[in-house]
Amino acid sequence: MNIIVEDWGIIDYTLAYQRQKSLVQEIIAGGTGHLIFCEHPPVLTLGRTFTEGSLLYTKEEIEQRGVTVQTVDRGGDVTLHAPGQLVVYVILDLNLFKRDLKGYLEKLEQVAVDLLKEFGILAVSVPGKRGVFVKADKIISIGVGVRKWVSYHGVGINVNTDLSLFSLIKPCGLDVHMTSMAKLLGRPKDMDEVKKKWAEIFSKTFKGEMTS
């Protein structure tokens, strides 16, 4: 399986979403899978299971903080994207994986756990709670959408994220504190190094050949 790796840099969330949808259509038509790295200006995205109680302020108050709010068609509740968080979008034909959405999500979580281990961070997935945790704190969020068995959306990895922004929400609808690689390591982490490691581990886990 061949997977094209792209780096979109810091990109507006809506533009990235439109690009994802275009790639989904390409893959439905028989195109190649994509692994996309990017960061977003501060934005809260509200997934399909969003409840109003997950926002701790009004949308107007949140937007006054320079954070936009957008409803999206992925699974999960509310999550935050902001500079310093590595967002990984995986546009993949799940027909290649027996249409096993649960198995696909578990593989994404395993890639995330293995990634953090490479940097000396012991993390785990927790049954019934999508994402990856370090002790009681959440460090990686996962939420996907599927259209005609092609996946989109993906993973948010708190690398050097401003964690104070999470005070605006109940992340993923949970009473949980968020952490980051920078906080746990005591120093900022090079984003390019994290991207490289993710691509390597993803390739091994999903048995894909990466091209750029």
What percent of the chain stands above pLDDT 90?
84
Distance of alpha carbon 68 from its chain centroid, rounded? 17
Q: Is the pLDDT of residue 28 over 70?
A: yes
Its pTM stands at: 0.94
How far, in Å, CA of 174 to CA of 161, rounded? 19
Active site residues: 172
Query: What is the bridge-based pairing of β-strands 124-126 and 150-158?
Result: unpaired
* pLDDT tens-digit map of 7-25: 999 999 999 999 999 999 9
Q: Is the pLDDT of residue 160 over 70?
A: yes
Question: What confidence score (pLDDT) does residue 79 get?
Answer: 93
